[in-house]
Amino acid sequence: MNSGVKKESSTSQHQTPPAAVAPQAVVSQLNGFFPPPVSSLAPAALVPPAHHPAAALFFSPHLPPLLPPTHFGSIAPALLHDHLLRPPTPPTSVPSTAPPPSQSPPNDALDTADVAQKIREILSTHNIGQRLFAKHVLGLSQGTVSELLSKPKHWDKLTEKGRESYRKMHAWAASEKNVVELKAISPKKGSSPMMSNYRSEDAATEERIQKILSEAHHAMQAKHSQEKEQWNRSIVSSIYEQELAKLGENGKITNGVNSLSGQQYDAGEFTEQLVQRIYQEQLEKMIAHARKSGNVAQLNMYQAELLKVAQQVHAKGNSPHEDNKENLTDTKDEPTDLSIKKKEETLADSSPAERQSAFSIVRPESCQSNDSSSHNAMSPLQRMQNIANSLMNKGPNQGGTGGRPLKAVLPPITQEQFDKYSHIGTDELVKCVKETLSQFSISQRLFGENILGLSQGSVSDLLARPKPWHMLTQKGREPFIRMQMFLEDTESISKLVASQYRVPPEKLLRGSMGDEPPPPPPPPPPPQSTSSPAESDYRQSSSSVADSELDTLAITSKVKEVLTANNLGQKLFGEAILGLSQGSVSELLSKPKPWSMLSHKGREPFIKMHMWLQDPAKFDRLRLYQSETPAGKNSRKRKHQSAIISSNSNCCDNSASSSDNQKRPRVFFTEQQKETLRNAYASDPYPSQNVIENLANQLNVGQKTIVNWFHNHRMRAKQQQHSVSSPASSVSSSARTAAVDSDDAPSPASTASSSAGALTRPLNDAAQWLFPDFMPVKAEKAEEEEEIDEESSNMNVTVTKSNKRKAAKPKRVYERAEPERNGESWDDEDDVGSTSGLTVVAAC
DNA sequence: TTCTAGTCAATAGA
DNA sequence: TCTATTGACTAGAA
């Protein structure tokens, strides 16, 4: 299949004559010259109507600026470039920008990492965008090239098609001329890409193409700028007309404009006032919209902007829109934002330094600059465009109800800032940033969109693979400077957390693990009571718990002990204490991950367990819950609570019901099907699409089911390795050991740490999971089975049941003998260790 | 777009 | 009726 693709591509590259592609190429290439027309020029409210000339320019089917490369039809972008920049002669004469695949022998292995590194350096050094490189050299998308460059696969693991890309890169990088050529066609250069200094043997053809391109380019540029200007004028005048008409109807000029009545003022001054008023009104509308949609970030931004405008007007002696103050301060209906009031103060009298703070960049651009001249230089209309732009980018309803957070309009980095941050250790910086984000539960998306002005994917990339400072262009350094500013402004962290989560940071249970200075004081928490009393109690005290490392194994052991000793079910415990389902509780208790391997979210149940264990009234809580929950309706109750806890009952109720309705019925694989899947997994835990399709067909299930199975299988294999690792039974057996041990001198109120002390090995180290006391445990387990059967404690009965069941399926004992798992379950407690270990166990 | 981590919930098995 | 299992799903990250 791959070869087929390759063949086709290769063939088309050499068969399509330049003359045939030239006209289309002219247009297509020109498309790349123009900036993203609408997004950068048109705010949401100002998008030209379809019939508008500007729209015709931007959206004309004849001038498809937004067409992806594939819209060149059968002509690949690289091919297009080839034909434009290179004569259709054998590639030996002139180094081509996109070397044909045939240049490298098919089996000529390349060091892909080296090639990728080299390409990255070249692109970086010459400030050539991946998009451009991808399009013209490889004929791939930017994202694909990014992958190729950042995560080069080993040559042996590449398909022929995959190798082709690296061959192209390798060949391309071999000649500096290629680099120069590509650099020359970069739109940033401001010159026509088609004016690159290549020399063609087919001079006439090339000259003709150049001429066409040049003329078309200039013509379109002229048209473009003219229409853009006209378009802007028409929009502004259109708004003016509307406003003037309004004024005429009302017979008066309101607000700011009103103050002008009776005065002698020129048209320019009036215009300014009018624009200002329009701007204010637009802001008010946006405020209303943001408030309606519950988007606090937007609300804050618009309010801040409105306040600023009002202050400016006021400073000029006007008092337009006094009623705006309502919008500026009326946040009592807004349950979310914790920093609105503070922000108002900040905005009202913030110092330049404050305005320069990292967090200030979540405010609109006009609010940011500490350079009043530059701020004033931006017209209200421009500022409105900025805000509208951000609106357009985000779309409505982005509050806490699942929409995307607001993307900030970031101020440019000033020269002073560039000077100040003349060097940044990017590695260290991203490390700090990652820690901060993790510590405060700030998502990459939130951080990227509000602080860096980048998408989550970009943030991920920056944080995962920061370039050395010296390899960064000025533009590339900007996000790092913003990160640095963010870290230096401690207040910004709290504000960001608060604005995003609508909860106090401590509620997130994500404190540092002890090796970091305490975070800046969080903003005042909102008086939300969205959770059950027990929930809030635990939340309050759990923040201190979160600061320490918990011994998950000891905790779960103790919990199991207490539950069984008191005949409390996992279901009740899960619903009343953890807010989890019985199945989840079962998994947590039987296969606890070590603390260090848990995500912040994953730690929360353990923190809750720990708090519960320490709670003298822990049984009262359960009884209370039990009494409040009629038998048979537990599940409903739990759902209801979850809905409440999630602080958005409508959302969750709806989603729950809808997901219930939409959730596909569970598939139950037969043993034969499982065997097939296991075999496939053994061959490749990450099956290709083809394999998935084949399996789906073979097993007569949906592809999604196959994908889910592999996902689950991988996760559970990993979980198995982590928690039970070598031996699945290590944890639960250890847990049993602990339970049994503690049975000797059980203390119902004993804490997790005391349980930990009862264990025979240190537990505050992840190594405990790597070198578990497995074999003795197995032996011990066998003995336990004997002993426990005779015991009557609830706990032991439970354990015995489990062990009995496992013992009834001896084949599972051998499941882990083969790394690829021929056994039934990854999760099975007996799904353990190695063959040798099991042999010993059997001997025992 | 895909992967991971976490979770739900239907079902199996004791 | 309890716990364990496991396919399905979601959010966040890569």
- Dist CA A457 CA A787 (whole Å): 55
More confident residue, A349 or A590: A590
Distance measured from the CA of protein residue A786 to the C1' of nucleotide B8, in angstroms: 35
DSSP string, A475-535: HHHHHHHHHHHHHH-HHHHHHHHHHHHSS-GGGGT----SSSPPPPPPPPPP----S-HHH
| pLDDT number for residue A474 | 72
CA-atom Rg of chain A in angstroms: 33
Instruction: Summarize pLDDT for A399-447 with one digit per residue, the tens.
Output: 333 333 334 456 667 777 777 887 888 877 887 777 777 666 677 777 8
Range from A320-324, A359-363, A382-386, A455-459 that averages highest in pLDDT:
A455-459
> What sign for the dihedral angle of Cα A644, A647, A650, A654?
negative
Arithmetic mean of pLDDT over chain A: 51
- Residue A599's pLDDT band, with cuts at 50, 70 and 90, is confident
Q: Which residue has the tokens 């703070």?
A: A357
Nearest to A332 by CA among A532, A527, A128, A553: A527
Strand B-proximal protein residues, Cβ less than 7 Å: A 457, 574, 579-584, 587-588, 593, 598-599, 601-602, 604-605, 635, 638-639, 642, 656, 660, 666, 668, 686, 689, 707, 711-712, 714-715, 718, 801, 804-805, 808-809
Query: Is the C-beta atom of A571 closer than 7 angstroms to strand C?
Result: yes
Tell me: pLDDT of A378 over 50.
no
Q: Which nucleotide is nearest to A668 (CA to C1')?
A: C7
| pLDDT number for residue A26 | 28
Distance measured from the CA of protein residue A11 to the C1' of nucleotide B12, in angstroms: 58
Cβ atoms < 10 Å from Cβ of A51: 7
- Residue A548's pLDDT band, with cuts at 50, 70 and 90, is low
DSSP string, A730-775: HHHHHHHHHHHHHHHS--TT--HHHHHHHSSS--SSTHHHHS--HH
Tell me: pLDDT of A611 over 60.
yes
| pLDDT number for residue A609 | 87
Tell me: pLDDT of A17 over 60.
no
Query: Is the C-beta atom of A464 closer than 7 angstroms to strand C?
Result: yes
Instruction: Summarize pLDDT for A172-215 with one digit per residue, the tens.
Output: 777 766 666 666 554 433 333 333 333 333 344 334 434 433 44
Tokens of A765: 């180290």
Rounded alpha-carbon distances, angstroms, from residue A74 to A80, A133, A423, A643: 10, 19, 47, 52
- Dist CA A413 CA A482 (whole Å): 8
- Dist CA A493 CA A359 (whole Å): 8
User: Exposed/middle/buried for A609, CB within 10 Å: 0-12, 13-18, 19+?
Assistant: buried
Percent of chain A with pLDDT over 90: 1
Nearest-CA residue to the C1' of C10? A659
| pLDDT number for residue A664 | 75
Instruction: Summarize pLDDT for A647-657 with one digit per residue, the tens.
Output: 333 333 333 33
Spell out the domains of chain A, with CATH numbers in brackets. 112-185 (1.10.260.40), 274-306 (no CATH), 409-500 (1.10.260.40), 552-629 (1.10.260.40), 671-719 (1.10.10.60)
Instruction: Summarize pLDDT for A572-588 with one digit per residue, the tens.
Output: 888 888 888 888 888 88
- Residue A19's pLDDT band, with cuts at 50, 70 and 90, is very low
Query: What mean pLDDT do residues A801-810 have?
Result: 30
| pLDDT number for residue A620 | 82
Ramachandran area for residue A192 (φ above 0: left; ψ -120 to 50: alpha; else beta): beta
Is A398 in contact with A406 (CB distance < 8 Å)? Answer: yes
- Dist CA A545 CA A435 (whole Å): 19
Is A431 in contact with A420 (CB distance < 8 Å)? Answer: no
- Dist CA A604 CA A615 (whole Å): 16
Mention every residue, 6+ apart, whose C-beta is less than 8 A from residue A597: A722, A766, A769
Chain centroid to CA A552: how far? 28
Distance measured from the CA of protein residue A392 to the C1' of nucleotide B5, in angstroms: 33
Instruction: Summarize pLDDT for A525-537 with one digit per residue, the tens.
Output: 333 333 443 444 4
Q: Which nucleotides of B are covered by protein (CB under 7 A)?
A: 1-14
Range from A363-367, A490-494, A500-504, A712-716 that averages highest in pLDDT:
A712-716
More confident residue, A79 or A576: A576
Tell me: pLDDT of A794 over 50.
no
Helix (H, G, I), strand (E, B) or coil at A658: helix
Instruction: Give chain A's count of helices (H) and strands (E).
Output: 43, 0
What's the 3-state SS for A528-579?
A: CCCCCHHHHHHHHHHHHHHCCCCCHHHHHHHHHHHHHHCCCCHHHHHHHHHC
DSSP string, A194-260: GG-----SSHHHHHHHHHHHHHHHHHHHHHHHHHHHHHHHHHHHHHHHHHHHHHHHHTS--HHHHTT
| pLDDT number for residue A143 | 57
